[in-house]
Amino acid sequence: MANVLKMAAINSIATLVRAGYSDRHIAAVLHVDRGTVAKYRQENQNPPNAPPGSGGDPPGHELQNPQKSPTGPDSQCEPHRELILQKLEQGLTAQRIYQDLVEDHEFTAKYHSVRRYVARLVQKSPQLVRRIEVEPGEEAQIDFGTAAFIKTTDGKRRRPWVLRVVLSHSRKAYSEVVYQQSTENFIRVLENAFRYFGGVPRKLVIDNLKAAVKQADWYDPEVHPKLQSFAQHYDTVFLPTRPYTPQHKGKVESGIKYVKNNALAGRVFSSLEEQNSHLLDWEQRVADTRIHGTTKRQVGKQFEDVERSLLTPLPVDAFPSFHEGRRTVSRDGHIEVAKAYYSMPPEYVGRRVWVRWDARLVRIFNDRWEQLAAHAKCEPGRFSTNPHHIPKKRVSAVERGTDALLHDVALIGDDARQWSQAMVQTRGIEGVRVLAGLKALAKKHDSVALNNACRKALSYGAFRLKTIRELLQRDDGRTQQQFDFLEEHPVIRPLSDYSLESLTAFRKDRNDERITG
């Protein structure tokens, strides 16, 4: 059986094709066969339009083997040796140490002097690394790490997470602190980053976090469906790295260390807002003004001059805010969403479905993201039931409505029809159950008797089912059967036996019997 790509991979191929990448490049970054990419390109009817150099390795691949030159005996850092050692013990980087020396001790030497001095102290040897540089506006790398402690008013300390989004070309970055690694927080930080940059990169490189996240709450090796919708909205694509390969997003990995060791090390904040305000100021005042060690250019200037204009423009509307989750259809044909209940077609009882909901609408999908049902959002404890989701054999007479019941009652007879119509006009909505009760009586009593009872009740102006029952019982108990009299029968004497002559003869015979006796 041929391999079938998941929806996340298909969406990623379509997005990269629209961005103009070649089949070879798309196959490499998504780890799929080049023929598969060509097949989906043809299905989408997008002509190939690969940018120069995308047929093989992206431009800018090179091997670097930086060597640190030994520090001379006349280093201007020597007078601050003890202070530098203390800061190294605190875990501060050479960049942070250099900043503190300039601000607090009127240090006049260059940063590279501090870096060489620190390298000699810690005695670290350089390692061979492979750096991959990308075109402006092409890629951003995303990762998170632990942030600085937040100490609340009651004295408790809480450690949040810092998310950092780094544009791979200019190294322009955005950092934000959150308490939870939820999908909603991840999307909100990305949107804030896009607005901060003024555009969207064509690819977003993320970590799988398979060992840390068991459920699809942040992002799974298969991109979370909500993130797929987010990527389609912003016309970008998520590219998860292989598990346990942080070097595939080395720019943001080093960026996280830069934030932790430079912006946040040794600091404690009183709230998330205070820490985020500090990070925003630090990004603009420190991170953007530095000369990056690899690009040899000032980060902020390189972004403004080269990369900003090549980002994909922001869409008119922000990504619609909604919640998402998996639900199982219960035996009564409903699912529970935010403590309310929504119906599903009966064939989905016991099956798992996807649900997306916001303040106005609840939408239900299958695993192929085909919409199965939609309901208006209702209050907790309420049921929203679509009549088409109820099998006909499960629909009660009351649920069918007044018109349907009146039509059924009219089949009993004209008297029953007239009484039912008058009853409904008199009692209103209460009459629906009375009509259902009258239909039930038709199964137990003759239609003639039932019509007679309805005619009498209508003449009395009585419109309760109790009256109909009493009239039916009265007729059943008091009605006598009529018989025709017989004029002749063997056991019946003729009338002539009761004439005057017959009576006189009878008396005479009786007297004679007494005399002889």
User: What's residue 104's pLDDT?
Assistant: 86
Contact 63, 132 (CB under 8 A): no
Q: What is the pLDDT along the chain (517 residues), one digit of tens a residue?
A: 445 677 777 878 888 888 888 888 888 777 788 888 888 888 775 444 443 333 333 333 333 333 344 444 568 888 888 888 888 877 788 888 998 899 888 888 889 889 888 888 876 444 444 456 688 999 999 888 889 999 988 888 999 999 999 998 899 999 999 998 888 888 889 999 999 999 999 998 887 553 233 443 444 446 677 888 888 899 998 887 654 445 444 455 577 888 988 999 889 999 999 999 999 999 999 999 998 877 788 999 999 999 999 999 999 888 887 888 899 999 888 999 989 999 999 888 899 999 989 878 899 999 888 899 999 988 888 888 888 887 665 555 555 567 778 888 888 899 998 998 888 888 877 788 888 888 888 888 888 989 999 998 888 888 888 888 888 888 765 444 555 555 555 656 666 665 666 667 667 776 766 666 5
Amino acid at 251: K
Task: Give the whole-angstrom CA distance, residue 325 versus residue 331.
Answer: 19
Burial class (CB in 10 A: 0-12, 13-18, 19+), 19: middle
For the chain, how are helix, strand and coil distributed in percent, rounded to 5?
A: 45, 15, 40
User: What's residue 432's pLDDT?
Assistant: 80
Task: Give the whole-angstrom CA distance, residue 189 versus residue 180.
Answer: 12
User: What's residue 342's pLDDT?
Assistant: 94
Task: Give the whole-angstrom CA distance, residue 61 versus residue 59.
Answer: 6
Contact 342, 375 (CB under 8 A): yes
Contact 377, 323 (CB under 8 A): no
Amino acid at 476: D
Handedness of CA 297, 63, 52, 233 (dihedral sign): negative
Contact 346, 333 (CB under 8 A): yes
Task: Give the whole-angstrom CA distance, residue 75 versus residue 116.
Answer: 9
Kind and range of the H or E element at 164?
strand 161-167
Cα distances (Å, whole numbers) of residue 432 to 460, 466, 486: 21, 15, 52
Contact 364, 326 (CB under 8 A): no
Cα distances (Å, whole numbers) of residue 166 to 89, 163, 208, 252, 299: 28, 10, 17, 6, 11
Task: Give the whole-angstrom CA distance, residue 120 versus residue 123.
Answer: 5
User: What's residue 46's pLDDT?
Assistant: 46
User: What's residue 275's pLDDT?
Assistant: 94
- In this structure, the number of other CB atoms found within 10 A of the CB of residue 211 comes to 8
Residue 344 gets the label, from left (phi > 0), alpha (psi -120 to 50) or beta, of beta
**Angle ∠(228,231,236) on CA atoms, nearest 5:** 135
Task: Give the whole-angstrom CA distance, residue 472 versus residue 469.
Answer: 5
- In this structure, the number of other CB atoms found within 10 A of the CB of residue 437 comes to 15
Amino acid at 413: G
User: What's residue 217's pLDDT?
Assistant: 45
Contact 438, 468 (CB under 8 A): yes
Closest CA relative to residue 370, chosen from 353, 352, 386? 353
What pTM, to 2 d.p., does this model score?
A: 0.51
Burial class (CB in 10 A: 0-12, 13-18, 19+), 189: buried
Amino acid at 41: R
Supply the Cα-derived Rg of the chain in whole angstroms: 45
* DSSP per residue, 75-118: -TTGGGHHHHHHHHHTT--HHHHHHHHHHHH---S-HHHHHHHH
